[in-house]
Amino acid sequence: MNANDLADYLDNNVEAMLMSEQPHLDKAAAMLRQQQAEIEEWKRKYKDMHNLATQTMSRVHQLEKAKANEQ
């Protein structure tokens, strides 16, 4: 279950005991959705950085191999 699933669960299955509590449930669901969006953005950034590091290391390896072959 991710934060979006939990927010959906709150929206669809949890009813406030008092009407004054409903804004808190709504706020909690909204915060969970925002956190999930931030998590997804961090995952994308991590993936991009990982790909860049992998490409860089591959290029370094190629350059080292080419340099070794020159000697």
| Confidence at residue 15, expressed as pLDDT on a 0 to 100 scale | 85
| Confidence at residue 71, expressed as pLDDT on a 0 to 100 scale | 78
The answer to whether the beta carbons of residues 68 and 50 sit under 8 Å apart is: no
How far is residue 4's CA from residue 31's CA, in Å, rounded to a whole number?
10
Question: Crossing angle of helices 22-70/3-13, nearest 10°?
Answer: 170
| Confidence at residue 66, expressed as pLDDT on a 0 to 100 scale | 94
In the DSSP assignment, the letter for residue 15 is -
> Tell me: the pLDDT tens digits for 22-64?
999 999 999 999 999 999 999 999 999 999 999 999 999 999 9
* Nearest Cα residue to 14 out of 2, 1, 28: 28
| Confidence at residue 53, expressed as pLDDT on a 0 to 100 scale | 98
